[in-house]
């Protein structure tokens, strides 16, 4: 496995030529955009109570607390701008090389950068959805309603509970996005994973699936990941290595 190493030059050449690339991104691609790491010590998720989906459904006080946390972080999310990492995926799409862009992020920055085929595995925090009729409004509108005295806003159409269109703890992954992502990974030639620790399942099983289906796997992340040992190129290993067969 260590005999046939892929050099950075070879990796660049593969990216240049490849026409079925699938991107897979996590929080690391957005940190330079100023999206705070909510899970870090002192981060909002470390100091605030985690609300499970079932609590949100059954308890108004939990809904109020959940929305309070969302409103607190929204100004930072809202002002974040896409960075060079996001723009690199836009370039790939414009050159017709990007089959799909799978993201674990909820910040909407890939779309704001200009990508159109984004599969959001954990939903988006830029929109709010009614849990009953699935009507959507913008997060800006929801925050305005909360600030105007409605701490757990309800749907104008049916009175159902409004919730950010993200996947909460205890809530299932969006089936259509997951299905499309699975198919994209089975058909791609290169899976380019950027800024993900590849530790959160089932999302992290997708790069593994791409590799098993015959694609090359490149991993760019600040820290080692569980998939570095099967990657053709990994930024966390001391030297770029290849296990192409």
Q: Which residues bind Zn ion (CB under 5 A)?
A: 130, 132-133, 135, 155, 157-158, 160
Phi-psi region of 123 (alpha: psi -120 to 50; beta: other; left: phi over 0): left
Longest dimension (CA), the chain: 65
Number of neighbours of residue 169 by Cβ within 10 angstroms = 11
* In the complex, least distance from residue 128 CB atom to Zn ion, rounded to whole angstroms: 11
Which residue, 77 or 168, has its beta carbon nearer to Zn ion?
Answer: 168
- Give the residue from 13, 16, 38, 15 showing the smallest Cα distance to 27: 38
Asked if residues 98 and 92 have their Cβ atoms less than 8 Å apart, the reply is yes
Angle at 92 between CA 88 and CA 93, to 5 degrees: 115
Which residue, 8 or 133, has its beta carbon nearer to Zn ion?
Answer: 133
* In the complex, least distance from residue 86 CB atom to Zn ion, rounded to whole angstroms: 32
Active site residue 122: yes
Give the helix/strand (H/E) hosting 209: helix 205-212
Are β-strands 136-138 and 123-130 bridged in parallel, bridged antiparallel, or unpaired?
antiparallel
Catalytic residue among 19, 58, 122, 134: 122
* In the complex, least distance from residue 159 CB atom to Zn ion, rounded to whole angstroms: 7
Which residue, 100 or 128, has its beta carbon nearer to Zn ion?
Answer: 128
Which residue, 27 or 130, has its beta carbon nearer to Zn ion?
Answer: 130
R_g of the chain, CA atoms, integer Å: 19
Please give the positions annotated as active site.
Answer: 122
């Amino acid at each position: 496995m260590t005999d046939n190493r892929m050099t950075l030059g070879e990796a660049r050449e593969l990216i240049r030529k490849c026409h079925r690339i699938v991107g897979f991104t996590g929080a690391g691609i957005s940190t330079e955009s100023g999206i705070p790491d909510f899970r870090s010590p002192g981060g909002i998720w470390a100091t605030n109570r985690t609300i499970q989906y079932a609590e949100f459904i059954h308890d108004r006080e939990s809904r109020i607390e959940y929305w309070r946390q969302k409103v607190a972080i929204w100004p930072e999310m809202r002002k974040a701008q896409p960075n060079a990492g996001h723009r690199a995926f836009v370039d790939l799409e414009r050159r017709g090389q990007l089959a799909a862009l799978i993201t674990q992020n909820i910040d909407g920055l890939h779309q704001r950068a200009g990508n159109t085929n984004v599969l959001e595995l954990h939903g988006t925090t830029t929109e709010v959805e009614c849990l009953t009729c699935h009507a959507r409004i913008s997060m800006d509108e929801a925050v305005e309603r909360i600030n105007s005295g409605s701490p757990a806003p309800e749907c104008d159409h049916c009175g159902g509970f409004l919730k950010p269109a993200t996947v909460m703890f205890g809530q299932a992954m969006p089936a259509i996005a997951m299905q499309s992502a699975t198919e994209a990974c089975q058909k791609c030639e290169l899976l380019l994973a950027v800024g993900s620790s590849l530790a959160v399942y089932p999302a992290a099983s997708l790069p593994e699936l791409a590799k098993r289906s015959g694609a090359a796997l490149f991993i760019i992340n600040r820290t080692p990941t569980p998939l570095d040992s099967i990657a053709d190129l990994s930024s966390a290993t001391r030297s770029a290595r290849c296990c192409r067969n």
